[in-house]
Amino acid sequence: MTADARSTALSSYRSVNPATGRVLAEHPTATDVQVQEALAGADAAFRAWRTLPIEERAAVAARVGTLFTERVEELAAVITEEMGKPLAEARDEVAFCAEIFAYFAEQGPALAADQPITASGGGRAVVQKRPVGVLLGIMPWNYPYYQVARFAAPNLVLGNTILLKHAESCPRAALALQQLMDDAGVPAGAYANVFASHDQVADIIADPRVQGVSLTGSERAGAKVAEIAGRNLKKVVLELGGSDPYVVLDTDDVRESARTAFATRMGNTGQACNSNKRMIVMADLYDEFVAELTRQAEALTPGDPAEAAPGTFAPLSSRAAAEGLARQIRAAVDAGATLHAGGRLLEGPGAYLEPTVLTGITPDMAAHHEELFGPVAVVYRVADDAEALALANDTPYGLGGAVFSTDPDRARRLAEGLDAGMAAVNAAEAEGAEMPFGGVKRSGYGRELGPLGMDEFVNKRLLYVKDRTAGEG
C-alpha cells in the first residue's frame, strides 16, 4: 500500500450530533501529499510573516477577534450541534476567543518587547523575543474554539505560524476557524487546518521545519506526543487532565454554596479539565451540602442543547464518552461509593448521562485517582483545614484548585499549599485572557494565556553590543 493510500484508509474526521446520534458531516483524513503541502506552506509563510513589524501582525489578530464577535451566532451553532455544548455557553466560548485575540493584539507588542540587561562589563545587552517557526497545535473537542485561540493568538502575534490538528469529532468547527482566519487576513499557510492521522502527527512533529508542539488532551496522548517530541528535540506544551479540588471551609449559606458548586461542575456538562471534580467540604456543612447537590441533580431533565431550557442538561460529547463515564460510576458504586443521584445512561442514540452525586469514595478506589470527565459531583467530608489540604493534594493531577471561606485569609493560607498550577480564593477559577493557564504533575507543563502565553514558543535571544574603546574600529 502506498503512503497516500495508507492515509486515505485511516479513519475520517466525523461530525456527529451527540443529542441525536445523527451524522452531520464526514471528511477524509489528509493524504501524505496534503500534509507535506501544508508543512511547506507553513514554512514558506513563516519566512514572510516573521519579517512584518509586530504591530502589523497584531492588527491581523485584532481582525480575527472582531470576526469572532461578528460571527458569534453561526460559530456557536456549529459547536452546539457538533459537540453538544449548551448554546449560551457556546456563545460565551466564542466571546472569550474574541477577548483573547483582542488581548494579544493590544498587549502583544509590549509583551514581546526587548528586555534590557545591565551589562557588568559595559556595553548594551537586551533579551529579544523572536519567533521560532512552524508550530503544531493538537487540540481537543471540549472547547473547539477557545483551546485553539489561546494557542494561536500569542504565537501568530509573535510571528510563528500554525499547523492545527483538531479533534476528529469536530471537523465543522475546524473548518469554521480556518475560514475565519482566512477572512481576517491571516496569510495563506500562516494558519492551516490539517485533518491529519495519528501517524501523520508523528511525522509532522519529527519534520525539521516544525519547531514545537502544543497539545491539550489526555495523559495518554500527552505522553505519546512528548515522547516523539523528545526524540526529535522539540519544545512541548502540554495541558492534560485535572481533578481539581473545590474546598468549602465555611459559608454563610450552605445551600447557596452547594448550588454554586453544582452549577460550576455542570459547566460544559462537566467536560472541562479544570472543573471542580472533587468537592471537599467541612463536616458541619457536609450533610446539607450533599442534600442540596442531590436536589439540584434530581431536578434536571435531558434537553436539547440548542434550546438550553432552564432545568435541563445537555448530552456529553459522544455516546462513547457517556458510556465510558457510566462505567466509571458503576465501578465506584460497586467498590462501595454511595450514589445519591443520577448515574444512569439514558437509552437511545444520544449521549445523555444523568447528572450524578457520589460520596464515600476512598483512596483504594479507582475513582479516587481517575478523572471523571462529565457531570459527576464527587463530595468528600473532612474534619479540619489540614485534612482538607492533604486530601486536595492527594491526586496525580495538579491543574487548578479553589478554596472558599468567609475568612479570606484562612482560605488563602490553604490555597497557598495547593500543589497546582492555578489556585483561586473565593472563586471557582481565575478566568481571563490575561490569566496564565496550566498545571503541574500529570496535568502537564507550560502555560497559555496572559504574559506567560507569549514566552513558550519564542527564541529569547541575547543581543550584546560592546562599547567601542580607543584604538578599535
Catalytic pick among 273, 292, 354, 448: 273
> Could you tell me if 105 and 58 are in contact, meaning their C-beta atoms sit under 8 angstroms apart?
yes
Please name the helix (run of DSSP H) or strand (run of DSSP E) that holds residue 265, with its range, or none. helix 254-265
- Round to whole Å and give the CA distance between 429 and 262: 14
List alpha helices for 309-439, DSSP H. 319-334, 385-392, 408-416
- Grid cell of 251 as nine digits: 459559608
93 catalytic, yes or no?
no
**Interacting residues of 147 by C-beta distance below 8 A, sequence separation 6+:** 139, 140, 216
170 catalytic, yes or no?
no
Tell me the three state secondary structure of residue 464: strand
- Round to whole Å and give the CA distance between 199 and 4: 12
Cβ neighbours of 98 (radius 10 Å): 21
Tell me phi and psi for residue 198, to 5 degrees.
-65, -40
**Interacting residues of 150 by C-beta distance below 8 A, sequence separation 6+:** 100, 437, 448, 449, 453
Catalytic pick among 93, 239, 354, 448: 239
Which residues are identified as catalytic?
239, 273
